[in-house]
A = this chain, B = another copy of it.
Amino acid sequence: MPDSIEAEPAEPRKKRRATPNAVLREDSIHRITEAAFRLFVTRSYAATTLQQIADEVGMTKGAIFFYFQSKENLLLHLLAVAEQSIVTSFAQQAEASSGSAVERLVAFFHHGARQGLERPYQLLCLIQMSIEFSGSETEIGRRVSAIYDKIYGLLAHIVEDGQRNGDLTDAIKPVEFVAMVVAMHDGMMLEWHRRGGRIDGRLLVQAVRMTVLNGVLAQERR
Contact = CB atoms under 8 A, between A and B. Distances in A.
Contact of A187 (B46, B168, B186, B199): B186
B46 A218 contact: no
A215 B218 contact: no
B169 A219 contact: yes
User: How big is chain A's contact interface, by range?
Assistant: 35 or more
A220 interface: yes
B167 A179 contact: no
Chain A interface helix/strand/loop/mixed: helix
Contact of A215 (B166, B188, B211): B211
A203 B176 CA distance: 7
Interface in A1-59: 13, 42-47
A110 to B, nearest CB: 15
A191 interface: yes
Q: Which 10 A/B pairs are nearest by Cβ-Cβ distance?
A: A187-B187, A183-B187, A46-B47, A46-B46, A183-B191, A215-B215, A214-B215, A176-B207, A180-B207, A183-B188
